[in-house]
């Protein structure tokens, strides 16, 4: 874990030393053990480091022409070091710098890891910003009038005096619909994110953006491979991914949810004799707790298990801390539980593995109704045109009708599938004072570039939308920021490139299976765990992190609700219609959906007040 920041002034005075130090200090939670800084000519770069083992390595890493700062780590950098002629004792940062000197941006296919880094080429006067394939590590930047600033987290970037804090109003509808704003956009008009799997190269002439990686899916019509072949390949890739994410001699744990993703990691760790203690979060008043299932997985696989229980009072107490940890709004309430879980894990381990990714790669709850609808829609397409036309006119005005009459290959964009679906167009129209901010087509506008260029079946297409939205823009930022706030290094075995490519190579039909009349999603993981865990654990449905918002806000969290509602109604930017807020307030006692909508507004409102 680390934090990076920098200032480049292509024009005007040299960057201010006090500003770069303020940026670096803002990132101290990402790297409390060491701080480094380099300056020369128009550039100042800074780095914060958290050490998981004793080391004399420091950053920035400097040669006669290149200066590099890295947040994250590379897999098996020793092998890459041999290829580029680096010293045998070179750190991953030094190997990365040697690779960049040899290949420049063409080094990226050779580099595996979870990282964000910046390279300043002082001979060419060029800054390059790079983010890993799925955007596990964050990286924000801004450019104005020949000046560039970048940082791992948005609050550090806002230490720069010339960066505007003006809200990008056009992104409000995106946030309300998806609970997030997708890279390269942010909620600030002057700030961008580097997109996952992208390079941004900035020179005095301006920025140039380039994609260096794209996940390739099984083409349409790919036959379903034998289950045995799939299981063998998954066992190999997941096992290797776990092995290289557990540093030797460092206390490492596992977020154990009771779901298939973390269970697959736990099984792979056991097979490789890696004793990972498991950590599970439970809500004190949850009527359907996950802890008993997670505890049974741990018992069967021989893992030490820690159940972290939080009460209703903890939710309100950690709200402001969670908003500060995020730095940029993510509207899902699970951030409170993740922060508590990360802090509890940090008391015992320095590194933790997470099972994030199983649903986006192999299918989850989002496929429960979709698979049935796709079968029916395919059947409708077989009807003669003289029948389909009137049927479409009769049913097409309803959501159910559109699902039946839309061609399966058009499903993702026509139905706006991918990511959360919180405030609908009608609900945004009721909520927002300015009708110009509603953006009726926001879902298609956001999703179209995510689906562009995909050549695969409808199930894989939809899963890619959830991968790029729900996973990379919502789940991973929550996991990274809460772990960083707790001083913990979180790693994601299921997001290893080999695991990603294995999952993507499977047709959608391999990811779902109908057994005894019931639809089972994530079939490859279930097959992998069959015989390792009993059916009661393998075949149970997936649950989210338990946050019973409606019940809590209407009862023990009532004082918190009233305080946040007063803040919302104050509304200094004039965004919300008071009568719409009143309606949500009243509905919260009857609906968890209203609680989720209010929570998304609470996060945005609290963040706006930090600007």
Strand blocks (E) in 50-190: 61-62, 66-74, 113-121, 126-131, 140-144, 147-151
User: What's the CA gap between 560 and 563, in Å, rounded?
Assistant: 5
Q: Count Cβ neighbours within 10 Å for each residue of 556-585 and write b for 16 or more, e otherwise.
A: bbeebbeebbebbeeeeeebbbeebbeebb
**What confidence score (pLDDT) does residue 506 get?**
98
Structure tokens at 383: 């009807």
Q: Which one of 187, 211, 235 terminates a domain?
A: 211
Residue 356 lies in a domain: yes
197: left (phi over 0), alpha (psi -120 to 50) or beta: left
For 406-420, letters b (16+ CB in 10 Å) and e give bebbebbbebbbbbb
Residue 56 confidence (pLDDT): 67
Shared domain for 247 and 207, answered yes or no, is no
Are 207 and 251 in the same domain?
no
Domain assignment of residue 334, yes or no: yes
Residue 194 lies in a domain: yes
- Strands in 34-40's sheet, in edge-to-edge order, are 34-40, 43-49, 2-9, 147-151, 140-144, 192-193
Measured in degrees and rounded to the nearest 5, phi and psi for residue 595 equal -65, -40
| Domain assignment of residue 191, given as a range | 2-211
Q: Is residue 106 part of a domain?
A: yes
Residue 512 lies in a domain: yes
Let me know if residue 578 belongs to a domain. Answer: no
Same domain, yes or no: 285 and 412: yes
Same domain, 172 and 272: no
Q: What percent of the chain has pLDDT over 90?
A: 73
**Same domain (yes/no): 436, 482:** yes
Same-domain check for residues 334 and 411? yes
Q: In 10 A of CB 480, how many CB atoms?
A: 27
CA distance 427 to 451: 26
Number of domains in the chain: 2
**CA nearest 278: which of 337, 352, 346, 335?**
352
Same domain membership, residue 515 and residue 500: yes
Is the residue at 611 inside a domain?
A: no
Domain harbouring 527, CATH code: 3.40.50.620
- Rounded-to-integer distance, Cα 382 and Cα 125, Å: 60
Q: Rounded distance, CA 67 to CA 38, Å?
A: 8
Task: Please indicate, yes or no, whether residues 265 and 179 belong to a single structural domain of this protein.
Answer: no
Alpha-carbon distance values, 235 to 88, 262, 264, 270, 494 (Å): 31, 14, 9, 12, 11
Question: Tokens for 606?
Answer: 């609290």
Q: pLDDT at position 476, please? A: 97
Q: Are residues 232 and 194 in the same domain?
A: no
CATH of residue 65's domain is 3.60.20.10
**Looking at the chain, how many residues does it have?**
611
**Residue 424 and residue 529 in one domain:** yes
Number of CB atoms found within 10 A of residue 534's CB:
12
Q: Are residues 219 and 207 in the same domain?
A: no
Q: Which secondary-structure segment (H or E) carries 360?
A: helix 358-362
Check residue 391 and give its pLDDT: 67
In a domain, 580, yes or no: no
Determine the Cα–Cα distance for residues 85 and 99; give it in Å rounded to an integer: 9
CA–CA separation, 213 vs 447, rounded Å? 18
**223, 106: one domain:** no
Question: Which segments in the chain show pLDDT lower than 70?
Answer: 54-56, 287-288, 385-389, 391-398, 400, 516-517, 542-548
DSSP single-letter state for residue 188: B
């Amino acid at each position: 874990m680390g934090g990076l920041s920098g200032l480049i002034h292509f024009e005007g005075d040299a960057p201010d030393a006090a500003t770069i130090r303020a940026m670096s200090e803002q990132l101290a939670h990402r790297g409390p053990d060491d701080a480094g800084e380099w300056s020369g000519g128009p550039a100042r770069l800074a780095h914060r480091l958290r050490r998981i083992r004793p080391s004399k390595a420091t950053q920035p890493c400097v040669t006669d022409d290149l200066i590099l700062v890295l947040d994250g780590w590379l897999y098996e950098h020793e092998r890459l070091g041999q290829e580029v002629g680096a010293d045998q004792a070179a750190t991953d940062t030094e190997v990365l710098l040697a690779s960049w000197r040899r290949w420049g941006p063409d080094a990226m296919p050779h580099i595996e890891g979870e990282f964000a880094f910046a390279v300043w080429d002082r001979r060419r006067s060029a800054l390059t910003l790079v983010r890993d394939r799925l955007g596990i590590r964050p990286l924000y930047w801004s450019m104005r009038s020949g000046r560039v600033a970048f940082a791992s987290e948005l609050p550090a970037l806002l230490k720069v005096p010339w960066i505007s804090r003006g809200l990008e109003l056009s992104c409000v509808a995106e946030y309300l619909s998806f609970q997030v704003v997708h890279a390269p956009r942010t909620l600030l008009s002057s700030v961008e994110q580097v997109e996952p799997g992208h390079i941004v190269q900035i020179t005095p002439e301006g920025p140039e953006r380039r994609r260096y990686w794209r996940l390739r899916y099984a083409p349409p019509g790919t036959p379903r491979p034998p289950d045995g072949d799939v299981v063998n390949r998954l066992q190999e890739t997941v096992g290797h991914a776990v092995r290289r994410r557990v540093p030797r001699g460092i206390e490492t744990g596992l977020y154990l949810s009771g779901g298939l993703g973390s269970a697959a990691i736990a099984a792979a760790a056991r097979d490789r004799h890696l004793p990972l203690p498991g950590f599970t979060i439970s809500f004190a008043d949850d009527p359907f707790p996950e802890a008993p299932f997670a505890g049974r997985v741990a018992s069967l696989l021989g893992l030490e298990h820690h159940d972290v229980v939080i009460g209703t009072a903890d939710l309100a107490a950690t709200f402001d801390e969670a908003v500060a940890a995020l730095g940029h709004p993510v509207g899902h309430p699970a951030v409170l539980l993740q922060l508590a879980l990360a802090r509890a894990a940090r008391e015992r381990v320095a590194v933790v593995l997470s099972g994030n990714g199983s649903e986006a790669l192999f299918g989850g709850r989002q496929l429960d109704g979709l698979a049935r609808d796709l079968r029916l829609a395919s059947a409708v397409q077989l009807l003669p045109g003289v029948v389909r036309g009137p049927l479409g006119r009769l049913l097409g005005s309803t959501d159910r009708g559109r699902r039946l009459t839309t061609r399966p290959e058009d499903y993702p964009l026509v139905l706006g599938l991918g990511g959360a679906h919180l405030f609908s167009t009608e609900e945004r129209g009721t909520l927002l004072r300015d009708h110009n901010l509603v953006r009726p087509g926001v879902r298609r506008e956001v999703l179209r570039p995510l689906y562009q260029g995909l050549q695969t079946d409808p199930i894989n297409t939809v899963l890619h939308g959830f991968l790029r939205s729900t996973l990379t823009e919502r789940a991973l930022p929550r996991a990274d920021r809460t772990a960083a706030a707790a001083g913990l290094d979180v790693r994601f075995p299921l997001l290893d490139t080999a695991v990603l490519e294995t999952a993507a190579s499977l047709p959608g039909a391999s990811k779902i299976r109908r057994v005894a009349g019931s639809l089972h999603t994530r079939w490859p993981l279930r097959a992998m765990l069959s015989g390792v865990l009993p059916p009661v654990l393998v075949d149970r449905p997936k649950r989210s992190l338990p946050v019973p918002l409606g019940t809590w806000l209407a009862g023990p969290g009532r004082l918190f609700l009233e305080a946040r509602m007063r803040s919302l109604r104050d509304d200094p930017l004039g965004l919300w219609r008071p009568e719409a807020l009143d309606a949500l307030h009243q509905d919260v006692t009857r609906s968890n959906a209203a609680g989720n909508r209010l929570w998304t507004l609470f996060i945005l409102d609290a963040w706006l007040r930090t600007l």
